[in-house]
Amino acid sequence: MNKIRWRKAWFQVHKWIGLLLAVLIIPISLTGAALVWHDALDRALNPKRFAVSGQALLPLDRYVAAARARAAPGDRVASIALPEDGHGPVAVTIATAPKPGAKPQGGPPARTTVFLDPPSARVLDVANNRAGLVRTMHVIHGSLMVPGLGRSIVGWIGVAMMVSSFTGLWLWWPTVGRWVRGLRWRRHRNTDTNLHYLTGFWVALPLFVLSLTGAWISFPAFFGALTGEGARGPAGGGRAAMMRARPLDAPALSIAAVVARAKPLVPEARLRSVTWPTDRSSDWRLSYDTQPVRSVTVADDSGVAAAERARGGTSVARWMRRIHDGTDMGWLWQAIIFAGGVIPALLGITGVIMWWRARGWKADLAARQRAKRARVEGSAA
């Protein structure tokens, strides 16, 4: 196949990926761009939960008691998270009790987070973890709000975007002259076409990386097998099973006793979070603010503390997630991710405009050719 035929073939692939998936790519891209600034967005939308009076911490059981006072009968404390970097509220997550007679749901149980003022344990805000604009954007970006298959759909869209990035770069490459000719603004008389060419070139590589990391997150078992890491997460179904677990209503150990038993294993580290034992695992889990993050489990029945292998470090899956969402990657990469979310939406819109215009001039050309043939046939007769 010669160069012209290759170009035509890649054009068809690129065109139909854009046309068929534009409606899905645009919301995924825009929500991904917004979620780069997740923390700032959360603070702007929910200022009252961050209106703390200071950062001095009380004994953890004070926060647990304050959260329980706002819980409904049957609700159970699932975890407590302390302020990151010493700034912000204490967050206690409560697993909501199922309503009497309600049918079991396939996903994790509903959870509510109680935000507390660190120095006073005063309730600042109570939020349903399934509600709110930021949560909705997470669901759109991760699963398009499609239960069950949504995550796989988003993963395959990521694969299609990798192909689109490659074919778009091929089509951008000038057919005549040096490659720098492609960097000119006025390659075409239409502004939307120039935008499509130029922004598409600059976003091609970042978009390929974001699409690859997004597909990696959507298909952890497949990519984990390629890297030898396997599907990461606790036994018995991984993270999904852990989320479906029901916290114990009355653990044998108090949170103060659990923290005291874990402390000798990480004497200098600052506690980040505590997760309650559940009907699937009788261990408490404590995470500490170290690099990489260290965790300690404390058996609720025996009180034996054990250090878990450090999470993070060289894990390819964790690196892929960090690259995808920009966590601890610096403002420059976060800005690139933001552009990598906004520009594909622009490419989708300009691509549809270009296709619609091409339909118009092709229809006009076909009409003129038919008219010409009719004149020729008429004169011949």
Query: Is 133 inside a domain boundary?
Result: no
Do 296 and 246 lie in one domain? The reply is: yes
Please, what's the b/e burial string for 194-204 (b: 16 or more CB within 10 A of its CB; e: otherwise)? bbbbbbbbebb
Do 224 and 145 lie in one domain? The reply is: yes
Query: Is 101 inside a domain boundary?
Result: yes
Give me the DSSP letters along 12-31: HHHHHHHHHHHHHHHHHHHH
pLDDT of residue 209: 93
- Residue that finishes a domain, picked among 262, 281, 314: 314
Query: Is 163 inside a domain boundary?
Result: yes
Do 242 and 222 lie in one domain? The reply is: no
What CA–CA distance (Å, rounded) separates 57 from 82? 9
pTM for the model: 0.77
pLDDT of residue 117: 96
Sequential pLDDT tens for the chain (381 residues): 667 788 888 888 888 898 888 899 999 999 999 999 888 898 899 999 999 999 899 999 999 999 999 988 889 999 999 998 768 999 999 998 776 655 555 556 688 999 999 999 999 999 988 888 888 999 999 999 888 788 999 999 999 999 999 898 888 887 766 777 777 777 777 888 888 888 888 999 999 999 999 999 999 888 888 877 655 544 434 555 556 678 988 899 999 999 999 999 988 889 999 999 998 889 999 999 877 778 999 999 999 999 876 554 457 888 888 899 887 788 899 999 999 989 999 998 988 888 888 888 777 877 788 887 777 777 766
Q: How many residues does the chain have?
A: 381
Do 81 and 224 lie in one domain? The reply is: no
Task: Find the DSSP H helices in 232-329.
Answer: 238-244, 255-262, 316-325
pLDDT of residue 118: 95
Contact 292, 311 (CB under 8 A): yes
Grouping H, G, I as helix, E, B as strand and the rest as coil, residue 92 is strand
Give me the DSSP letters along 288-309: ES-SS-EEEEEETTT--EEEPP
How many domains would you assign to the chain?
2
Query: Is 43 inside a domain boundary?
Result: no
Contact 270, 84 (CB under 8 A): no
274 pairs with which residues across the strands?
80, 286
295 pairs with which residues across the strands?
287
Task: Count Cβ atoms below 10 Å from residue 314 Cβ, excluding itself.
Answer: 8
What CA–CA distance (Å, rounded) separates 218 from 211? 10
Do 365 and 341 lie in one domain? The reply is: yes
Do 214 and 98 lie in one domain? The reply is: no
Query: Is 322 inside a domain boundary?
Result: no
- Residue that finishes a domain, picked among 314, 346, 365: 314
Query: Is 319 inside a domain boundary?
Result: no
The boundaries of the domain holding residue 335 are 3-37+138-228+327-374
112 pairs with which residues across the strands?
94, 128
Do 76 and 224 lie in one domain? The reply is: no
Do 165 and 222 lie in one domain? The reply is: yes
- For 147, the token pair is 């239960």
pLDDT of residue 293: 75
Q: Which are the contacts of 199, defined by CB distance < 8 A and separation ≥ 6?
A: 343, 346, 347
Do 70 and 202 lie in one domain? The reply is: no
Do 223 and 333 lie in one domain? The reply is: yes
Do 102 and 247 lie in one domain? The reply is: yes
Distances (CA, A) of 354 to 72, 183, 350: 56, 19, 6
Do 344 and 302 lie in one domain? The reply is: no
What CA–CA distance (Å, rounded) separates 109 from 104? 9
Residue 278 sits at the vertex; the CA angle it makes with 152 and 256, to the nearest 5 degrees, is 125
Under DSSP, the state recorded for 145 is T
Query: Is 162 inside a domain boundary?
Result: yes
Nearest to 130 by CA among 143, 116, 118: 143
What CA–CA distance (Å, rounded) separates 346 from 196? 8
Query: Is 62 inside a domain boundary?
Result: yes
Residues 193, 199, 205, 207: is their CA dihedral positive or negative?
negative
